[in-house]
C-alpha cells in the first residue's frame, strides 16, 4: 500500500511557499457569517465538498482585510459586480445557475490556462477579481482570447474560515495524494491516456466514447481527469458513458492544475491511478488536458513515470497536421499511440489526410463506442 503525503509539502511553481504563516491573516479581521446567508449563496462545482463540512454545524467566519493574501484552493464568498463571459455558475450537481449582479457566490481561488478563453492568476489581495471558469474558479485575468467577452467581475468579501483556519479545497477533498515515488501495486488495470493537440480538440468526447465501447465489450472501466480547470461536465459525461468510478483533480483538492509543480502533477497521475484501480476494474482511462506543448502536460509526458504507468495512448487532434505532429511527438517520448481520433474525424477530408500521414489507425470518435473497435485498442 502506498503512503499518503500532505500536498502542501510538495513544491509549487508559484510563490505560495514564500508566504508566511496565515496566523496574521486570521487575526486581521474575522466577521461572523450568518448560516442563512451562506445557504442563500450560489455554490460552485469546485466547492461542492463544502456541504459536508457545513453538516458539522461549526460557526464559520469571513476573513478579510489588507493582510489577506489568497492562495490557490482558498474558498471565498464573493459578490457579482458585473456580468461578462460567464453568465452562469456551475452548481455542485452541474446545473448552470444564472448569475445576476448582486448575487453572492461561493467559489475557489485558482490559476487558469485556457487558450480559447483566459489565462489568469491568483491575485495578491481581496481586490475585485474575475470569474475565470464557470465551474467556480476566481482569479485575475492576465490574457484572453480576442473572440470572447471580458470576464465576469467578482468582489471577494473574504475567505471562509472555521475555528481551525481558512477553508481550502485541500482540507475538504475526499482523496489524498500518494507519494509519487512509491510503486503501484501489481497486478493493476490496463491504463489508457487520452491526450490532444489543444483545448477543444475532442479529448473528453473521445474518452467518453472509448469508455462506452469498453464497457459494451464487458469490461469494467474507471475514468479520471488528471489535469485541467475544475468543471463537472467532463466527469459527468464519463459517468454517463458507463464508467464505474470517476475522479478528477478537484477530488484531490485542486481548483486547477495550471502552475502546479511537476511533483504535484506527477503525484496526481499516480494517485488517480491508484484510487481508480479497484479489484474489479479492468481498464483505467485518463484525460490529460490541453495540448502536448502546454507546460504541465509536456513535463508529465516526458516523465519516465508516465511511460511506466500508461500502457496505451489515444490522441485527439483538431486537424491532420496537428495529428501528425502530436502522434510523432508522443511516439518520440516512447509512448504507445494506438489510435488518433477527435475533432479531425468530423471532416472526412481531414480524416483522410490524417490517415495518409499517420502510421496508426484514425478512428471516428463515435465509432469508439463499438465494443470491437474499442477492444482492439487494448490488443
With a cut of 70, say whether residue 247 has pLDDT above it.
yes
Q: Which residue has the higher pLDDT, 98 or 26?
A: 98
Residue-wise pLDDT tens digits, 149-177: 999 999 999 999 988 899 999 999 999 99
Residue 13's pLDDT is what? 42
Residue 229's pLDDT is what? 96
- Residue 153 falls inside a structural domain: yes
Residues 42 and 104 in one domain: yes
Last residue of a domain, one of 115, 140, 172: 172
pTM of the model: 0.90
Residues 234 and 319 in one domain: yes
Task: Tell me what percent of the residues of the chain surpass a pLDDT of 90.
Answer: 82
Residue 178's pLDDT is what? 87
- Residue 2 falls inside a structural domain: no
Q: Which residue has the higher pLDDT, 135 or 13?
A: 135
Residues 157 and 304 in one domain: no
Mean pLDDT value of segment 261-272: 95
Average pLDDT score over the chain = 91
Residues 206 and 333 in one domain: yes
Residues 123 and 235 in one domain: no
Residues 26 and 146 in one domain: yes
Please give the residue range of the domain that contains residue 123: 7-172
Residue 304's pLDDT is what? 94
Write the Ramachandran bin of 65: left for phi over 0, alpha for psi from -120 to 50, otherwise beta.
Answer: left
Residue-wise pLDDT tens digits, 48-73: 999 877 766 568 999 998 889 999 99
Residues 25 and 79 in one domain: yes
Write the CB contacts of 23 (distance below 8 Å, at least 6 apart in sequence).
none
- Residue 1 falls inside a structural domain: no
- CATH number of the CATH domain containing 227: 3.40.50.300
User: What is the spatial distance between Cα 100 and Cα 72, in angstroms, rounded to a whole number?
Assistant: 25
Residues 151 and 267 in one domain: no
Locate 218 and state its grid cell: 464487458
Residues 242 and 365 in one domain: yes
- Residue 274 falls inside a structural domain: yes
With a cut of 50, say whether residue 341 has pLDDT above it.
yes
Residues 237 and 197 in one domain: yes
With a cut of 80, say whether residue 230 has pLDDT above it.
yes
Residue 164's pLDDT is what? 86
Helix (H/G/I), strand (E/B), else coil: 20: coil
pLDDT band at 30 (very low <50, low <70, confident <90, very high): confident
Residue 19's pLDDT is what? 43
Residue-wise pLDDT tens digits, 319-333: 999 999 999 999 999
Residues 141 and 16 in one domain: yes
Residues 52 and 163 in one domain: yes
Instruction: Report the domain count for the chain.
Output: 2
pLDDT band at 182 (very low <50, low <70, confident <90, very high): low
Locate 361 and state its grid cell: 489507425
Residue 183's pLDDT is what? 64
Amino acid at each position: 500500500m502506498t503512503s499518503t503525503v500532505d500536498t502542501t509539502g510538495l513544491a509549487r511553481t508559484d510563490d505560495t511557499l514564500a508566504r508566511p504563516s496565515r496566523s496574521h491573516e486570521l487575526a486581521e479581521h474575522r466577521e461572523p457569517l450568518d448560516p442563512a446567508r451562506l445557504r442563500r449563496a450560489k455554490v460552485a462545482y469546485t466547492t461542492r465538498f463544502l456541504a459536508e463540512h457545513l453538516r458539522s454545524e461549526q460557526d464559520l467566519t469571513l476573513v478579510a482585510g489588507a493582510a489577506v493574501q489568497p492562495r490557490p484552493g482558498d474558498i471565498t464568498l464573493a459578490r457579482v459586480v458585473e456580468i461578462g463571459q460567464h453568465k452562469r455558475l456551475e452548481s455542485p450537481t452541474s446545473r448552470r445557475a444564472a448569475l445576476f449582479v448582486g448575487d453572492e457566490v461561493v467559489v475557489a481561488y485558482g490559476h487558469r490556462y485556457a487558450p480559447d478563453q483566459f489565462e489568469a492568476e491568483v491575485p495578491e489581495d481581496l481586490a475585485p477579481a474575475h470569474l475565470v471558469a464557470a465551474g467556480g474558479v476566481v482569479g485575475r485575468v492576465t490574457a484572453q482570447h480576442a473572440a470572447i467577452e471580458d470576464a465576469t467581475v467578482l468582489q471577494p468579501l473574504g475567505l471562509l474560515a472555521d475555528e481551525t483556519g481558512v477553508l481550502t479545497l485541500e482540507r475538504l477533498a475526499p482523496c489524498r495524494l500518494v507519494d509519487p515515488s512509491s510503486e503501484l501495486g501489481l497486478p493493476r488495470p490496463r491504463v489508457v491516456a487520452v491526450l490532444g493537440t489543444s483545448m477543444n480538440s475532442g479529448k473528453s468526447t473521445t474518452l467518453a466514447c472509448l469508455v462506452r465501447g469498453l464497457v459494451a465489450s464487458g469490461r469494467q472501466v474507471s475514468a479520471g481527469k488528471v489535469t485541467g480547470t475544475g468543471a463537472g461536465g467532463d466527469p459527468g459525461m464519463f459517468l454517463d458513458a458507463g464508467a464505474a468510478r470517476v475522479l478528477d483533480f478537484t477530488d484531490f483538492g485542486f481548483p486547477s492544475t495550471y502552475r502546479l509543480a511537476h511533483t504535484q502533477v506527477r503525484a496526481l497521475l499516480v494517485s488517480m491511478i491508484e484510487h481508480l484501480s479497484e479489484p474489479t476494474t479492468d481498464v483505467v482511462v485518463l484525460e490529460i488536458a490541453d495540448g502536448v506543448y502546454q507546460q504541465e502536460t509536456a513535463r508529465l509526458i516526458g516523465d519516465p513515470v508516465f511511460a511506466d504507468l500508461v500502457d496505451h495512448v489515444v490522441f485527439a487532434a483538431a486537424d491532420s497536421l496537428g495529428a501528425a505532429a502530436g502522434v510523432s511527438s508522443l511516439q518520440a517520448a516512447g509512448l504507445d499511440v494506438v489510435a488518433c481520433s477527435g475533432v479531425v474525424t468530423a471532416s472526412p477530408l481531414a480524416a483522410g489526410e490524417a490517415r495518409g500521414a499517420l502510421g496508426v489507425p484514425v478512428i471516428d470518435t463515435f465509432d469508439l463506442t463499438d465494443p470491437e473497435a474499442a477492444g482492439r485498442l487494448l490488443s
